């Protein structure tokens, strides 16, 4: 930001510790430097994006970036353009210096036309429309994958919950597969690297909120913070059934004289999966037991229809469906078929 002082823009200030401790939870030195999380689009995000695209500008202070406050920039905008301050809002942001939101597009365009012609503290200020790419670097999910979740409680077999779970696995949910029984929930998703998926996943579901937010006036003081948040943890096995691999095909040379390059061939990798067993461990040994044997051709019976999942909104469902049609015709790499759990 165009700083207000040499210390920069301070978000919060530390308070002296209440007790003398050798190690405090949350200390900056104890935290990893970098992490990653996947965040799927929501209807609220789409509304915010439309608003920002239509009624917002990004502002950057040029020529040495001297200290400029939001109030100073708001005053300069009003003096130069005639747009009254009550009709727009200036906020500090990044990577540019300020985010400016307007009441209507006419006022936004009036300020945009003054880019680099408007001066604040004797330096020019540039304006440009807000864009979703301002903060981002390009990346991609390469692997379209079919997985099944073995042991997930049936009450969690729900679209929104599965979006969050797949996001936590560095993936983007594409489609839920109608369940044939209550043992495994299958789904298609895009992943960064399916090889990073653990065999065992502890799914922790916190308890539901018991009461709403505290409102001023309901009691003399806000309630004290709870000592803990109870939760239930469910052990789940992740089965990776199929992976569409578009990466270059690395084949070992057939001889010392073979200088052929890696082939650009999309493969369909299929794997054997057994209920209750980690992938690659094979079926339950008969002498050990542990795998419940079910008789019958299917995993369900009765006249009530299976639980259904509403289609996932948005354009993300279209590419997976085209890939699903190709799955039936693509040869499996290294296997003739897959054994489903």
What are the tens digits of pLDDT across the range 209-248? 765 565 666 566 766 777 888 999 999 999 999 999 998 8
Please, which residues have CB within 8 angstroms of residue 77's CB and are 6 or more apart in sequence? 83, 85, 88, 90, 100, 111, 118
CA distance 302 to 288: 32
Question: Has residue 213 been placed in a domain?
Answer: no
pLDDT tens readout for residues 102-159: 999 999 999 999 999 999 999 999 999 999 988 788 999 999 999 999 999 999 999 9
Which has more confidence, 297 or 88?
88
Last residue of a domain, one of 107, 129, 151: 129
pLDDT at 325 (0 to 100)? 58
Question: Has residue 300 been placed in a domain?
Answer: no
Same domain, 125 and 150: no
Preceding omega of 95 cis (within 30 degrees of 0): yes
> Residue 281: is its pLDDT beyond 70?
yes
pLDDT at 17 (0 to 100)? 79
Q: Count the Cβ atoms, other than its own, within 10 Å of residue 187.
A: 21
CA distance 103 to 84: 11
Same domain, 42 and 107: yes
pLDDT band at 29 (very low <50, low <70, confident <90, very high): confident
Same domain, 185 and 323: yes
How many structural domains is the chain composed of? 2
CA distance 160 to 295: 34
Last residue of a domain, one of 106, 129, 152: 129
Looking at the chain, the whole-number percentage of residues with pLDDT higher than 90 is: 50
Last residue of a domain, one of 129, 157, 181: 129
Q: Are 178 and 185 in contact (CB under 8 A)?
A: no
pLDDT at 338 (0 to 100)? 40
**What pTM was estimated for this model as a whole?**
0.73
What's the token pair of residue 267?
């493969």
Same domain, 148 and 260: yes
Same domain, 204 and 282: yes
> Residue 39: is its pLDDT beyond 60?
yes
Looking at the chain, the whole-number percentage of residues with pLDDT higher than 70 is: 74
Q: Which residue has the tokens 């029984």?
A: 181
CATH code, 67 = 3.30.70.330
Largest distance between two CA atoms of the chain: 86
Same domain, 167 and 109: no
Same domain, 160 and 266: yes
Sign of CA dihedral 208, 214, 219, 221: positive
Same domain, 67 and 106: yes
Same domain, 192 and 50: no
- Which DSSP letter does residue 195 get? G
Domain of 265, in residue numbers: 143-208+227-291+308-327
Same domain, 251 and 279: yes
CA distance 81 to 87: 12
Phi-psi region of 161 (alpha: psi -120 to 50; beta: other; left: phi over 0): alpha
Question: Has residue 262 been placed in a domain?
Answer: yes
pLDDT at 2 (0 to 100)? 46
Query: Which of 32, 271, 40 is CA-nearest to residue 173?
Result: 40
pLDDT band at 316 (very low <50, low <70, confident <90, very high): very low
DSSP3 helix / strand / coil % (the chain, rounded to 5): 20, 25, 55
CA distance 71 to 83: 14
CA distance 22 to 337: 57
> Residue 98: is its pLDDT beyond 90?
yes
Same domain, 110 and 149: no
Q: Residue ranges of the alpha helices (H) in the chain?
A: 43-55, 70-81, 105-112, 159-168, 318-327
pLDDT tens readout for residues 239-257: 999 999 998 887 766 655 5
């Amino acid at each position: 930001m165009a700083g207000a002082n040499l210390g920069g823009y301070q978000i919060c200030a530390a308070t002296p510790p209440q007790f003398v401790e050798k190690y405090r939870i949350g200390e900056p030195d104890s935290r990893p430097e970098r992490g990653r999380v996947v965040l799927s689009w929501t209807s609220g995000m789409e509304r915010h994006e439309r608003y920002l695209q239509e009624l917002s500008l990004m502002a950057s202070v040029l020529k040495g970036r001297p200290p400029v406050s939001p109030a100073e920039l708001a005053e300069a905008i009003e003096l130069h353009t005639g747009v009254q301050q009550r009709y727009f809002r200036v906020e500090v942001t990044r990577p540019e210096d300020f985010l400016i939101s307007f009441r209507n597009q006419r006022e936004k365009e009036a300020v945009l036309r003054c880019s680099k012609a408007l001066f604040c503290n004797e330096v020019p200020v540039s304006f440009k429309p807000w864009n979703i790419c301002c903060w981002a670097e390009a990346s991609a999910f390469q692997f379209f994958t079919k997985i099944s979740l073995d042991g997930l409680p049936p009450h969690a077999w729900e679209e929104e919950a599965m979006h969050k779970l797949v996001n936590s696995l560095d993936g983007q949910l594409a489609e839920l597969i109608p369940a044939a029984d209550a043992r495994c929930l299958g789904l298609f998703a895009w992943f960064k690297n399916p090889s990073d998926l653990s065999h065992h996943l502890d799914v922790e579901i916190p308890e539901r909120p018991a009461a709403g937010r505290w409102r001023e006036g309901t009691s003399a003081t806000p309630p004290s913070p709870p000592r803990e948040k109870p939760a239930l943890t469910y052990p789940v096995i992740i089965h990776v059934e199929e992976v569409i691999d578009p990466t270059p095909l690395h084949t070992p040379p057939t001889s010392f004289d073979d200088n052929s390059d890696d082939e650009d061939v999309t493969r369909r990798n299929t794997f054997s999966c057994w209920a209750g067993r980690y992938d690659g461990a094979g079926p339950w040994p008969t002498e050990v037991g542990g795998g419940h044997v079910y008789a019958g051709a299917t995993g369900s019976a009765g006249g009530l229809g299976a639980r259904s999942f509403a289609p996932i909104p948005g354009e993300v469902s279209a590419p997976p469906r085209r890939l699903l049609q190709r799955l039936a015709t693509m040869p499996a790499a290294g296997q003739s078929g897959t054994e489903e759990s």
